[in-house]
Amino acid sequence: MARLDGKVAIVTGAAQGMGEATARLFAAEGAKVVVCDILEDKGKAVAADLGADNALFHSLDVRSEEGWAAVVAAAVAKFGKIDILVNNAAVVHFSPIEAIEAADVERVLGINVLGVILGAKHAAPEMTKSGRGVIINISSVDGLRGCNGLTAYTASKWAVRGLSKSLAYELGPRGVRVCTVHPGGVNTQMGNPAGLSGDALNVGYERVPLQRIGEPEEIARASLFVASDDASYITGAEIAVDGGWSAGYYQPMLPGAPEVLSK
């Protein structure tokens, strides 16, 4: 039996990358999916591929209160309810602290944090009506640590982590679970902007225990687990899907150090 049979999910940033992979996997597992993005042509193509009975595209700037209200209304009008919200839409901004502009910070926090808050605000009442629901907020490995040159992005992903824990307490008594998923490097336009492939794709990932970049489908599968009834007693949790990147600091074996043997 499909793990999301009869469920209705909203996925933001679903026109490409992790969001698209999540929308496709959820649909394959039986969910009706509202595909949300500002990239209308790509988003419509994803929804069309999933089929009119299974998916709906809705243009959404996640910073817009009116936009969220319209998405929720459209989801309920077509599919009757909302069971799952995946707040995936996000942007990254690299800058030394001296060069960062207020507008850059406002954009990152607007999309990465305000968007998540507004999504929860508008989806929670519909979930409350049925006494159950799941909100999955996509944070980052950088929501578990610091990262040089990513001040605004890191701040936003820590914020997502904190607000999700608060939402877990607030919404838990209503039957709504809230968790964060923390991807590491992922082979998407954000994680691989140069479009590298083959051996070049994993250069620099020697510091990660699994020594490779992740694929969007691997992040989607973690979200699938959290969204499913298999995770029915999990809320307020942080799921790291980062190849072990957050486990610690990578230190190559020093010359002359004793070899560690496994029995």
In sign, the C-alpha dihedral spanning 228, 229, 235, 239 is negative
pLDDT at 145 over 90: yes
CA–CA dist 21, 9 (Å, integer): 13
Question: How many percent of the chain have pLDDT more than 90?
Answer: 90
Rounded (10°) CA dihedral 24, 38, 227, 47: -30
- pLDDT score, position 255: 54
pLDDT band at 3 (very low <50, low <70, confident <90, very high): very high
- pLDDT score, position 165: 98
Higher pLDDT, 167 or 254: 167
Amino acid sitting at position 18: M
Residues 6+ apart with CB under 8 A from 198: none
pLDDT at 261 over 50: no
Condensed to tens digits (0 to 9), the pLDDT of residues 48-70 reads 999 999 999 999 999 999 999 99
Rounded (10°) CA dihedral 232, 117, 25, 20: -170
CA–CA dist 187, 211 (Å, integer): 14
Indicate which residue of 153, 169, 249, 250 is catalytic. 153
CA–CA dist 7, 48 (Å, integer): 19
Region 13-25 average pLDDT:
98
Average pLDDT value over all residues in the chain = 94
Question: Rg of the chain over CA atoms, in angstroms?
Answer: 19
pLDDT at 12 over 50: yes
The pair of structure tokens assigned to 116 is: 């998540």
The pair of structure tokens assigned to 178 is: 């809230």
Condensed to tens digits (0 to 9), the pLDDT of residues 110-135 reads 999 999 999 999 999 999 999 999 99
pLDDT band at 248 (very low <50, low <70, confident <90, very high): confident
Task: Delineate the domains of the chain, giving CATH numbers in brackets.
Answer: 8-243 (3.40.50.720)
pLDDT band at 207 (very low <50, low <70, confident <90, very high): confident
CA–CA dist 22, 215 (Å, integer): 12
Q: Which of 27, 36, 41, 29 is nearest to 90 (CA)?
A: 36
The pTM assigned to this predicted structure is: 0.93
Task: Please confirm, yes or no, whether 249 is among the known catalytic residues.
Answer: no
pLDDT at 251 over 90: no
Region 17-42 average pLDDT:
98
Condensed to tens digits (0 to 9), the pLDDT of residues 79-112 reads 999 999 999 999 999 999 999 999 999 999 999 9
- In the chain, what is the straight-line distance between the N-terminal and C-terminal CA atoms, in Å? 41
Rounded to whole angstroms, the maximal C-alpha distance in the chain is 68
CA–CA dist 87, 18 (Å, integer): 11
Region 13-38 average pLDDT:
98
- pLDDT score, position 208: 93
Contact (CB, 8 A) for 219 and 183: yes
In eight-state DSSP terms, residue 11 is: E
Region 3-15 average pLDDT:
98
